[in-house]
Chains A and B, each alone.
Chain A
Amino acid sequence: MGFRELLKNKEFVILDGAMGTMLQAKGLKMGETPEVMNIERPEWLLDIHRQYIEAGSDVIYANTFGANRHKLAKCGFSVDKIIGEGIKLARKAVEGTDTLVALDIGSIGQMLEPTGTLKFEEAYDIFKEMVIAGREADLVVFETMTDLYELKAAILAAKENCDLPIMCTMTFEENMRTFTGVDISAMCLTAEGLGVDAVGVNCSLGPKELYPVVEKICRWTKLPVVVKPNAGLPDPVTNEYNCSAEEFAEFAEALIPLGIKVIGGCCGTDPAYIASLKKMLDGKKYVQRDVHIPAVCCSATDVVVIDQPRIIGERINPTGKKRFKQALLEGDIDYILGQAIEQIDAGADILDVNVGLPAIDEKAMMVRAVKALQGVVDVPLQLDSTIPEVMEAALRVYNGKPIVNSVNAEEKSLNTVLPLVKKYGAAVVGLTLDENGIPKTADERFKLAEKILHRAMAIGIRKEDVYIDCLTLTASAEQENVMQTVNAVHRVKEELGLRTVLGVSNISFGLPSREIVNHNFLMMCLTSGLDLPIMNPNIASMTATVRAYKLLTNIDKNSVEFIAHYGGDTSSPAPKAEKKSDVDLPYAIEHGLKGEGAEITAKLLETTDSMVIINEMLVPALDKAGEQFEKGKIFLPQLIQTAGVAQACFEVIKQKMLADGGSSVSKGKIILATVKGDIHDIGKNIVKVLLENYGYEVIDLGKDVDYQTVVDAAIENDVHLVGLSALMTTTLVSMEETIKLLRANNVDCKIMVGGAVVTPDYAEQIGADFYSKDAKQSVDIARQVFGN
């Protein structure tokens, strides 16, 4: 019987207990690589496996948990060898029994970007190598995972490189999250969406403490639920676990009514615990769960249930936005992040992400944007592209369960987009249009919605994961059809029982006072059943309409959300330190008044040339701050604060220049990078802000930057000043190597270096042209190099 049959036919599936605990009892030293014992002590493994089989395990885990190329690097054995031997030993142990062998895979031991340096794609390769080496197993287990992103790489690697069943378990703490903050329901939604066979929890805590975790898992998945707890909690000093084999089984028994299917033991357990479990389970019946998973999407940390109107922020989209296009052309990810955070602060629950621009590599930019966004924001993303390759790339790197925007009723679209939605376990927006365009009547649009739904369900997409967009047409051009959209929304919601989504702002195109039209149209649609308005949440009246709707329909119980947002209106406004009229630009900069600085700049631009503002107001004010910083009169936070104001002023100038059809301001291009191996980038980022505010165009290559990337960027962008940063003595050598490579390629550039451990002597020794002791000095160096 294979694992899938086992899940179907047996009341409960019993796993094994701890491997590490058993190996240590046999003499493995702490810190040694346990998987090497497959080669050095095969008799240990055979004995351990046999003890577990004897105790009643239906599945044993081969000793392959940490056999990845990163962890094995120090021991000199290949992944193939260690895993191959591990599986062989387990196979030998199960000979003559019905026990199955699992290829056991734990987390890699390095964190993924952006907290760590491991790339998602690299993680995939590491898992792929393990999966291929272990194909002789009966199933693949991913366990002790704390990062959903790593788990996703693992599941994809298994799905795409073998046909074995997959079981995955993560490690949750008492706060119901993993160490990286992953939410239980986010794990369930994502793993089930990707098509695993069983999901659950291992390690973490004892069976008693895991009760609420297991309870939540059982509510959020239809899959068989796995529980592999520790033997209670460890003593902080002795590391001994506090739960006996009998107590372990007793606490585990309490989990049965929740509807668990698969159970075993983790740290601190041994064959006695498994035997005890077996005894307890004897004659017990599996409890069938009645689970309904609602319409929902999620990031790794936030789960958004579409049980009430949720705002999808529409601002990450270059259509009709010169400044956004400019940011895409310059690869300015910070601008996109800024747009994201502004929308979330204004009330967006989900963000639409569209970076389509003919002049750029949309796929590369989409991947970059998705990765950067999920590194800083918690809200789920709606991936928006018309190109299937771009969509697939985005779905691959997304951490969670996203929304795909969009499929439509055209055959070509249905055939290319829906399989992607299914493979990656996403939700999807279906547009009610087909080869013949957008139908005029609500009735025809309803029919297309039906068609999309049927096609989605035919390939196994859940009904709840199909959201229908009945499409807004502009009232100025097709006034007679506005109500067709509203009626179609109503019918799709009521008759098909689907969630509805609608971009609302287009309604007012070509009309005056668009805001009035927009928020009234929004209210009409909400009342007719709109769940997901795609809109600009930064417009107060729009967000307010959604909040008011929730209040008036008794969704926002006791008006809690409404009062939280608007209840402060009657209290005294935040005291403004100065009267506006007293503030000029230098004053605003000196005192860190961002909003005022931007306002004054906008006003000045009506009468003054932008370069005059930069050279005669912004730069002298920054110089003054720099001087005071050097003299120790102001300190780092204030220096950066002044730069922050200048940045806001620059932003206004940039917008104006783009609106006038000019190019942006640049006194010279500078590359900044934190060198290979180093991930301390705050110093580099401070330098960046300051340089930008003196009008330099900074190409920020980020942290942990390959030598060659610096060289390529310098040549490609014709850059004549390169700034390198390193904070650790161990990464200084990367600084030296980067400089060597720049010189070897005859790149015509000056090089400045800085960072905590860099000294002037060292800078000279490794062939840098300048040593920069702080951000202020980097500006002086730039001025010297560019002669401005």
Chain B
Amino acid sequence: MGYGSTAPDDSILSMMDECEKALLGVIKPCAIYHVFDIQPCDDGVAVCGTSLVLKGKAVSEHLAGCVKCVMLAATLSAQADRVIRRYEATDMTRAVMADFLASAAVEQVCDMVDEQVRNEFSDHFQTWRFSPGYGDLPLDIQGEFLDVLQAQKRIGLNATGNNILTPRKSVTAVIGLSDHDIPKGRQGCAACNMREVCQFRKRGDHCGI
């Protein structure tokens, strides 16, 4: 919410607690993932056994040296959108808070998947999560990405005609799995398409991935 290192005052904190409770009371977070063998191809990386090709340079670099990838989809469910919408009609302060909290929450759901993958493939090294829309990985693979995972049926996750995920607080991403250590330099701002507008970068900070 832009506070950075400044601590929000008590009234803001208690409002946030209230928004958190409102969200936690109704959301139904869920995630699915599936592991695929991958193979580099002319225009990107082919996901074996599916019709999906992860197109572009950025994802090729991201998955360079990886033998498998985890495709994951996570959502907080449509109830999160409803909480935010309701606040928007009555109290924008809480709407903004709930929106921020929900964004953070869906990242936490993804972190849990990361952790599960780490445990399950403890003999592999893994990359950070790379999502459609990052770098030159086109957003319009979103539909096929969801189809491969049967995300609509299994967790109720869809994409609009413009490839925006709905429910809104949702994530799709690939995690590369490699037999070898992955160089640190491949993680960070260079591949991020938010780098021009990133609030962290503006402060000389880093988001952590």
Binding site for B on A (CB under 8 A): 29-32, 70, 74, 107, 109-111, 114-118, 144, 146, 171, 173, 175, 178-181, 203, 236-237, 239, 267, 334, 337-338, 341, 375-377, 592, 632, 635-638, 640-641, 643-644, 677-680, 682, 685-686, 689, 728-731, 756-757, 759
Which of chain A's residues have a CB closer than 8 A to the CB of B95?
682, 685
Q: Mark B49-67, 1 if CB is under 8 A from A, else 0.
A: 1111000000000000000
Docked CA distance A118–B196 (Å):
32
Q: B122 at the A/B interface (Cβ < 8 Å)?
A: no
Q: Which residue of A lies closest to B144 (CB)?
A: A31
Given A31-B147, A171-B153, is A110 in contact with B162 using a C-beta cutoff of 8 Å? no
How far, in Å, is A111 (CB) from chain B's closest CB? 4
How many residues of B sit at the interface, in one of the four size bands?
35 or more
Which of chain A's residues have a CB closer than 8 A to the CB of B133?
728-730
Which of chain B's residues have a CB closer than 8 A to the CB of A637?
1, 8, 12, 15, 93, 96-97
Contact (Cβ within 8 A) B164 A111: no
Q: CB < 8 Å: which of A179, A203, A341, A689 contacts B28?
A: A179
Q: B124 at the A/B interface (Cβ < 8 Å)?
A: no
Q: B79 at the A/B interface (Cβ < 8 Å)?
A: yes
Q: Identify whether the interface residues of A are mostly helix, strand, loop, or mixed.
A: loop
Which of the 9-residue segments B37-45, B81-89, B104-112, B176-184 touches chain A? B81-89
Contact (Cβ within 8 A) A30 B51: yes
Which of chain B's residues have a CB closer than 8 A to the CB of A632?
6
Q: B191 at the A/B interface (Cβ < 8 Å)?
A: no
How far, in Å, is A319 (CB) from chain B's closest CB? 23
Contact (Cβ within 8 A) A685 B168: no
Q: B163 at the A/B interface (Cβ < 8 Å)?
A: yes
Q: B78 at the A/B interface (Cβ < 8 Å)?
A: yes
Would you mind naming 15 contact pairs between A and B with Cβ atoms under 8 Å apart?
Answer: A29-B51, A74-B143, A107-B152, A114-B85, A115-B167, A117-B162, A144-B153, A146-B156, A171-B153, A203-B153, A236-B32, A334-B89, A341-B86, A644-B93, A678-B162
Docked CA distance A31–B151 (Å):
11
Contact (Cβ within 8 A) A117 B160: yes
Q: B190 at the A/B interface (Cβ < 8 Å)?
A: no
Contact (Cβ within 8 A) B92 A689: yes
Docked CA distance A281–B85 (Å):
48
How far, in Å, is A698 (CB) from chain B's closest CB? 13
Q: Which residue of A lies closest to B87 (CB)?
A: A376
Docked CA distance A32–B92 (Å):
43
Given A114-B85, A175-B28, A236-B32, is A731 in contact with B162 using a C-beta cutoff of 8 Å? yes
Contact (Cβ within 8 A) A685 B88: yes
Which of chain A's residues have a CB closer than 8 A to the CB of B88?
682, 685
Docked CA distance A199–B178 (Å):
48
Contact (Cβ within 8 A) A641 B89: no
Docked CA distance A154–B82 (Å):
23
Contact (Cβ within 8 A) A640 B161: no
How far, in Å, is A472 (CB) from chain B's closest CB? 31
Docked CA distance A637–B166 (Å):
25
Q: B22 at the A/B interface (Cβ < 8 Å)?
A: no
Which of chain B's residues have a CB closer than 8 A to the CB of A641?
93
Which of chain A's residues have a CB closer than 8 A to the CB of B147?
30-31
How far, in Å, is A18 (CB) from chain B's closest CB? 12
Docked CA distance A146–B28 (Å):
14
Q: Which residue of B lies closest to A144 (CB)?
A: B153
Binding site for A on B (CB under 8 A): 1-3, 6, 8, 11-12, 15, 26, 28, 32-35, 49-52, 77-79, 81-82, 84-86, 88-93, 95-97, 99, 120, 133, 139, 143-144, 147-148, 152-153, 155-156, 158-164, 166-168, 193-194, 196-197
Contact (Cβ within 8 A) A729 B32: no
Contact (Cβ within 8 A) A115 B81: yes
How far, in Å, is B117 (CB) from chain A's closest CB? 10
Contact (Cβ within 8 A) B160 A679: yes
Q: Which 9 A-B pairs have CB atoms at the shortest separation, nearest pair first?
A: A179-B156, A677-B162, A337-B89, A31-B148, A30-B50, A31-B51, A111-B166, A116-B166, A31-B50
Which of chain A's residues have a CB closer than 8 A to the CB of B143?
74, 109
Docked CA distance A647–B149 (Å):
46
Contact (Cβ within 8 A) A338 B52: no
Docked CA distance A146–B157 (Å):
11
Which of chain B's residues have a CB closer than 8 A to the CB of A178?
156
Contact (Cβ within 8 A) B35 A29: no
Contact (Cβ within 8 A) A759 B197: yes
Docked CA distance A32–B150 (Å):
11
Q: CB < 8 Å: which of B12, B92, B158, B168 contacts A644?
A: B92
Contact (Cβ within 8 A) A179 B96: no
Given A637-B8, A637-B15, A641-B93, is A116 in contact with B32 using a C-beta cutoff of 8 Å? no
Q: Which residue of A lies closest to B163 (CB)?
A: A730
Known: A115-B82, A180-B77, A181-B82. 11 other contacts (CB 8 A): A107-B152, A110-B158, A144-B153, A171-B153, A180-B78, A638-B12, A677-B164, A682-B99, A729-B193, A730-B163, A756-B194
Docked CA distance A678–B35 (Å):
31
Q: CB < 8 Å: which of A179, A644, A757 contacts B77?
A: A179
Q: CB < 8 Å: which of A109, A171, A678 contacts B164?
A: A678
Docked CA distance A49–B139 (Å):
37
Which of chain B's residues have a CB closer than 8 A to the CB of A267?
153
Contact (Cβ within 8 A) A337 B90: yes
Q: Which residue of B lies closest to A647 (CB)?
A: B92
Which of chain A's residues have a CB closer than 8 A to the CB of B93?
592, 637, 640-641, 644
Docked CA distance A337–B91 (Å):
11
Contact (Cβ within 8 A) A111 B160: yes
How far, in Å, is B118 (CB) from chain A's closest CB? 14
Docked CA distance A306–B139 (Å):
48
Which of chain B's residues have a CB closer than 8 A to the CB of A29?
49-51
Given A30-B148, A31-B147, is A376 in contact with B89 using a C-beta cutoff of 8 Å? yes
Q: Which residue of A lies closest to B33 (CB)?
A: A236
Which of chain B's residues have a CB closer than 8 A to the CB of A239?
34
Q: CB < 8 Å: which of A114, A180, A334, A680 contacts B156?
A: A180
Docked CA distance A114–B168 (Å):
11
Q: CB < 8 Å: which of B92, B153, B158, B167 contacts A643?
A: B92
Which of chain A's residues have a CB closer than 8 A to the CB of B89?
334, 337-338, 341, 376
Which of chain B's residues have a CB closer than 8 A to the CB of A341?
86, 89-90
Contact (Cβ within 8 A) B8 A111: no
Docked CA distance A689–B51 (Å):
46
Contact (Cβ within 8 A) B160 A686: no
Q: Which residue of A lies closest to B89 (CB)?
A: A337
How far, in Å, is A233 (CB) from chain B's closest CB? 11
Which of chain A's residues have a CB closer than 8 A to the CB of B163?
730
Q: CB < 8 Å: which of A203, A236, A644 contacts B91?
A: A644
How far, in Å, is B103 (CB) from chain A's closest CB? 10
Docked CA distance A222–B188 (Å):
59
Contact (Cβ within 8 A) A338 B90: yes
Contact (Cβ within 8 A) A685 B92: yes
How far, in Å, is A156 (CB) from chain B's closest CB? 21
Contact (Cβ within 8 A) B161 A30: no
Which of chain A's residues have a CB closer than 8 A to the CB of B139?
728, 730
Which of chain B's residues have a CB closer than 8 A to the CB of A678?
162, 164
Contact (Cβ within 8 A) A376 B153: no
Docked CA distance A29–B51 (Å):
6
How far, in Å, is B15 (CB) from chain A's closest CB? 7
Q: CB < 8 Å: which of B6, B35, B161, B164 contacts A635?
A: B6
Contact (Cβ within 8 A) A111 B167: yes
How far, in Å, is A725 (CB) from chain B's closest CB? 14
Contact (Cβ within 8 A) B8 A635: yes
Docked CA distance A341–B49 (Å):
50
